[in-house]
Amino acid sequence: MEGWGGGRFRTVLDQSVAPYLWRPWYDRVATPAIARLFFPLSRAWAAAVAAQGDPDVFHATVDTGPPRRLVGVKLLGAVDRAWREYTEALDDWEAAFFGGEGPSEALNGLDRRRLTLARKAMALRAGFLPAHLERSFPAIRFEIENAVTVEARHGVRLAAPDGLMSPPDAPDIRQSRPFLRDGVVWRWGRFATPDGAASPPAEARIREPAGRVPRGTMIFAHGIGMETEMWGEEGTIPDWFLAQGFRVIEPQGPWHARRRLDGWYGGEPIFAHGPGGLLDYSWLHVREIGTWIAHARELDAERDVVSPGPVLLSGISLGALTVMQLLSWARRWRAEARPDFALLIAPAASLTEVAYRGSLTGSMGVPQALAQAGWTEETVGRWSPLLDAADSPAINPDRIGIVLGDVDEITPYASGEDLVRQWAVPAENVWTRNQGHFTVSLGLTSAPEPLHRMLELVAT
């Protein structure tokens, strides 16, 4: 992390190119590229993984995509082989990290191998590009639930939006074996999902500086489709806080990375199931994050720390919306499950606003699919008490920071401004930059005034 091959090189590069790269032009390119390339190629890739090399199964899943002649058996076989190689490496990783098999000296290499093969398998999305350019794959496999189905699963919560949201009391969190890499201790934690929800176990990567007591814990909620555990990005906001001496906990959201459901790409069910997908995600992930917050305090207690460090909760995009929901619902939670501070990057006050007026959801056909399934903006809005910001947050607004891009069209800037006003976040904790949705977060480590401000708040 400290060498020129890692975080330091990324920092210098950021400082050199940031004034030119992280500008609104980047968002104007990135948004259509993600909506019209990355997500459709991800849809094809997920179908190929599920097909296990069988072209009949693949084409039955993407029947609105390119004709059979454009997607060869060779490509489907390559995806199948790469995914099998990855799952074999993952089995070895599981046996070593959570099963206790093998010497501890092998853990670093096993994790690098897992990540290398994950990245190789994920990158085979690109193989579907020629077919996609001739006739597009769909961006989402829509299976939108009707209002009756959603009502049966979530209706009882409307009577008490924050009364049923408490995280479970002290679930059994399994810790992996740790290993040391570049002066940082790495480990993973996992626990069964609340209420036996239909999702693989909750899981988070936990990193902290070796040989010292962390000055606090930073918990980071990622955006939709962001799968660091599969791609291995460096130079991120969590890395910045790690370099400042914080413990960093990075939960995997439901249906992402190792929690991905077969036949779907990372995060796809959130959009694909309509309001039910959004409600399921928040119902599960908000409570999981509350558990990770409490676990951070338990880790300090296990160290017998005299003054346990504070917990800063941060999120970007969908992660910022998740943080917004947690702060809306957590006022009646036990104190140890609530964060001490929060930093929201590219948030919005209303998920209905994001669904109907966000440029990414619009480009991917979400409003049209909702209409075809019988939903209107009014019927979606009925669920706003469970999706949108409460009148006030669960912690003092003085402890909240918000970063907005004034040309953000994905989580619309105006809705972010509404959140600032609604929660009365003080002006010194709000940063509005001439950036869009992606650049406001990508440029944050190269222009880190908001991050330094959060350090000041945490130190008080």
Domain layout of the chain by residue ranges: 23-134, 147-459
Provide the token pair at 131: 């077919």
Give the model's pLDDT for residue 119. 98
CA dihedral sign of residues 209, 214, 218, 219: positive
Q: Which DSSP string do the residues of 120-188 spell out, in sequence order?
A: HHHHGGGGGHHHHHHSPPPS----PPPHHHHHHHHGGGGGSTTTS-PPPSS--PEEPPPEEETTEEEEE
Second-level CATH architecture of 147-459? 3-Layer(aba) Sandwich (3.40)
Give the model's pLDDT for residue 421. 99
- Closest residue by Cα to residue 309 from 324, 293, 320: 293
Could you report the average pLDDT of every consecutive run of 10 residues in the chain (460 residues)?
38 62 92 97 98 95 81 95 99 97 93 98 97 94 96 88 69 95 97 76 97 95 96 87 98 97 97 97 95 95 79 98 97 94 98 96 97 97 95 98 98 98 99 97 95 96
Q: Which DSSP string do the residues of 404-420 spell out, in sequence order?
A: EETT-TTTTHHHHHHHH
Q: Could you give the C-alpha distances from 321 to 98, 218, 390, in angstroms and in order?
A: 32, 17, 12
Instruction: Report the SS3 class of residue 378.
Output: helix
Q: Give the C-alpha separation, 237 to 448, whole Å.
A: 9
pTM of the shown model: 0.94
- Closest residue by Cα to residue 299 from 237, 228, 216: 216
Q: Which DSSP string do the residues of 97-119 spell out, in sequence order?
A: HTT--S-GGGHHHHHHHHHHHHH
Give the model's pLDDT for residue 20. 74
Look up tokens 């030119």; give the residue: 20
DSSP 62: T
Give the model's pLDDT for residue 293. 97
Checking DSSP bridges between strand 184-191 and strand 217-221, what pairing results, if any? unpaired
